[in-house]
Amino acid sequence: MKVLVIGGGGREHAICWRLSLSPSVSKVYATPGNPGCATIAQLVQAGSYTPSGYLALARSLAADLTVVGPEAPLVDGVVDAFETAGLRIFGPTRAAAQLEGSKIFSKQFMTRHGIPTARFTATDDPAAARQALDEFTYPLVIKADGLAAGKGVVIVRDKAEAVATLDSMFGGTLVGDAGLRVVIEEFLTGEEVSFIALSDGESVLPFEPSQDHKTIFEGDTGPNTGGMGAYSDSRILPPAMRQTVIDTVMTPTVQGMKAEWMPFKGFLYAGLMMTKDGPKTLEFNVRLGDPETQALLHRLDGDFGELLMEAAAGRLNPSLLGCKPGPSVCVVLAAAGYPGKVRSGDLISGIPEAESTGAVVFHAGTR
């Protein structure tokens, strides 16, 4: 089959790479892709990077399956456009993508279905938000409701910082319209785990657990980045705890979405805090993680293309999700200055030497 991949970061390079190794896949297209994708996939331009633009592209390529990397096209309704047109795509509809697209939706959904999460207040009223601060102790967490490209979560240490953060959220200066509604929530402590599963709308098929690491520099001296790396290791969660996550978070989420008439098909990513009271959900994403995917797909052992095609058709097949037993790690090598203003144009060398050791090099932001 011919598969179209939407997106152009390191995660999408890893998806293209795994698809290119799938016996069921004869051709991989990526839109817009990146120079790394171009070594294994054909880069194609969409007339517009909108649901109808992607649909027209998939039609013109006669793609048998489309796989969506980032959240924005999902929240924009790319899956709805494909399903209406009868084209196969793996991902949640616009309604189901609210689990990531609206933090208020996801928090209220968790409340409705008894899914463990931090205590919270949600509001679009600045005065009510200020008042709600008194219901929490510091530090506390303020979250923009809408998509904010990783900038919508602020941990504040005292009331002055909280008030300033609320002002910049409601003033639209921090993350634009995404911050006009906010969640204020209790600060949780523990180890964070990225728990990612495939869902066909009925049940879940989990990947091994992984963890991403956001602070830059040796010793985590910061600041936060889009991710300096990730690792996947089955020992991150003992088997009983893994089952607890499936039983208290993943399965109730998929069942709850089905009961609310928005079945969730696609990659369901729960960002968990393993607290002393058990796992609590910090957030849902409706896609694979970046850079968790790079580590996860390196361990995958099986036909990724067939796995996704079957899942898109409503058939989760555990025998297609083989996983190599050993752990894997993804280390991000960033341009000088990252995550601030980066120096661009530096030459990257040593890729063949790295790959001769069994490593795989994924591109993001290269040319």
Binding site for ligand AMP (CB under 6 A): 118, 141, 150, 153, 185, 187-188, 192, 271, 282-283
Q: Considering beta carbons, is residue 206 or 289 the nearer one to ligand AMP?
A: 289
Token reading at 56 = 């027209």
Backbone Cα Rg of the chain: 20
Does position 102 bind ligand GLY by CB under 6 A? no
Specify the stretch interacting with ligand GLY by CB under 6 A; choose among 122-130, 132-140, 161-169, 285-293: 285-293
Give strand ranges (E) for 105-220: 120-123, 140-144, 153-156, 182-186, 191-200, 204-206, 210-215
Grouping H, G, I as helix, E, B as strand and the rest as coil, residue 223 is coil
Residue 187 interacting partner from ligand AMP, ligand GLY, none (CB closer than 5 to 8 Å by kind):
ligand AMP
Grouping H, G, I as helix, E, B as strand and the rest as coil, residue 141 is strand
Give 26's DSSP letter: S
Specify the stretch interacting with ligand GLY by CB under 6 A; choose among 42-50, 61-69, 286-294, 355-363: 286-294
Does position 285 bind ligand GLY by CB under 6 A? yes
**Nearest distance, CB of residue 205 and ligand GLY, angstroms:** 19
- Which residue from 14, 70, 68 is spatially nearest to 41, judged by alpha carbons? 14
- Applying CB under 6 A, among 227, 256, 263, 266 the residue interacting with ligand GLY is 227
Residue 70 interacting partner from ligand AMP, ligand GLY, none (CB closer than 5 to 8 Å by kind):
none
CB 203 within 8 A of CB 280: no
Crossing angle for the helix pair 292-299 and 10-20, to the nearest 10 degrees: 20
Q: Considering beta carbons, is residue 289 or 339 the nearer one to ligand GLY?
A: 289
Does position 292 bind ligand GLY by CB under 6 A? yes
- Which residue from 227, 218, 171, 205 is spatially nearest to 365, judged by alpha carbons? 227
Does position 98 bind ligand GLY by CB under 6 A? no
CB count, 10 Å around CB of 160?
Answer: 9
Which parts of 143-162 interact with ligand GLY (CB under 6 A)?
A: none
Q: Considering beta carbons, is residue 64 or 212 the nearer one to ligand GLY?
A: 212
- Applying CB under 6 A, among 289, 302, 305, 339 the residue interacting with ligand GLY is 289
Q: Considering beta carbons, is residue 68 or 156 the nearer one to ligand AMP?
A: 156
Question: How many angstroms separate the CA atoms of 228 and 332, rounded?
Answer: 5
Largest CA distance in the chain: 59
Question: How many angstroms separate the CA atoms of 315 and 328, rounded?
Answer: 28
Which parts of 331-360 interact with ligand GLY (CB under 6 A)?
A: none
Specify the stretch interacting with ligand GLY by CB under 6 A; choose among 90-98, 152-160, 234-242, 282-290: 282-290
Q: Considering beta carbons, is residue 150 or 314 the nearer one to ligand AMP?
A: 150
Does position 212 bind ligand GLY by CB under 6 A? yes
Residues making up the chain, counted from first to last: 367
Grouping H, G, I as helix, E, B as strand and the rest as coil, residue 89 is strand
Q: Considering beta carbons, is residue 220 or 277 the nearer one to ligand GLY?
A: 220
Which residues sit at the interface with ligand GLY, rule CB under 6 A?
A: 212, 227, 285, 289-290, 292
